[in-house]
Amino acid sequence: MAIRNLRFEKDEILKKRSREVENIDEKIQILIDDMLETMYKFNGVGLSAVQVGILKRVIVIDIDDGTGPKILINPKIVKTKGEHEVEEGCLSFPNQYAKLLRPKEVTVEALDRHGKKITIKAKELLAQALCHEIDHLDGVVFVDKMIPGTLEHVETQEDIKNK
């Protein structure tokens, strides 16, 4: 396993639509393991393959609820219910947060890492994370959907030191 380089805000790849995974081979398994390691290293809740420079429809999510990581290949949102305002950040937009509207509940169909079809019915943070990561696969980043005027940059000690 290896830590992959994250792609950041100005990188054009984040605006591209990812391609379906045709074959879940060893390369995809390595990508999944590397994505998990990268997500955990940077304290993320989710990560899409495009955020590490790979235009494949693969996401990993772990909302730290004790159920372990969720690995989804070719995920599709098939149903949504309700809507609420949430605050989001993104590993590709360090220290930036904004408010946006997301569904309260989603149903997602995907393949697991072994190619088995799975359905996830999610609420709250998991629903939000699924929407966020699937948006990435379509070339949409959270600031594209933010409520105007809600973007905030939180300065870190590193930012202050570098001034």
Q: Residue 160 — very low, low, confident or very high, per pLDDT cuts 50/70/90? A: low
Measure the N-to-C terminal CA separation of the chain; round to a whole number of Å: 35
The verdict on residue 143 lying in a domain is yes
Q: Provide the pLDDT for residue 1.
A: 81
pLDDT(108) > 90: yes
Residues with active-site annotation: 133
Other residues' Cβ atoms within 10 Å of the Cβ of residue 143: 16
Over the stretch 13-22, which tens digit does the pLDDT of each residue have?
999 999 999 9
pLDDT(158) > 90: no
User: Do the Cβ atoms of 71 and 126 come closer than 8 Å?
Assistant: no
Reported as type and span, the H/E element at residue 68 is: none
Owner of token pair 């940077």: 42
Q: Which of 129, 86, 138 is nearest to 106 (CA)?
A: 129
Q: Provide the pLDDT for residue 12.
A: 97
The verdict on residue 7 lying in a domain is no
pLDDT(52) > 70: yes
Q: What is the DSSP letter of 144?
A: G
Which range has the worst mean pLDDT, 11-15, 119-123, 152-156? 152-156
Domain with 23, as residue range(s), is 12-155
Q: Provide the pLDDT for residue 156.
A: 74
CATH number of the domain at 122, please: 3.90.45.10
The verdict on residue 163 lying in a domain is no
The verdict on residue 50 lying in a domain is yes
Please give the tally of structural domains in the chain: 1
CA 126 from centroid of its chain's CA atoms: 11
The verdict on residue 88 lying in a domain is yes
The verdict on residue 6 lying in a domain is no
Q: Provide the pLDDT for residue 137.
A: 98
Instruction: Write the single-letter amino acid at 46.
Output: G
Q: Residue 155 — very low, low, confident or very high, per pLDDT cuts 50/70/90? A: confident
Give the sheet arrangement for strand 70-81, strand by strand.
Answer: 46-48, 58-61, 70-81, 105-111, 117-123
Over the stretch 56-84, which tens digit does the pLDDT of each residue have?
999 999 999 999 999 999 999 999 999 99
pLDDT(159) > 70: no
Q: What is the DSSP letter of 4?
A: P
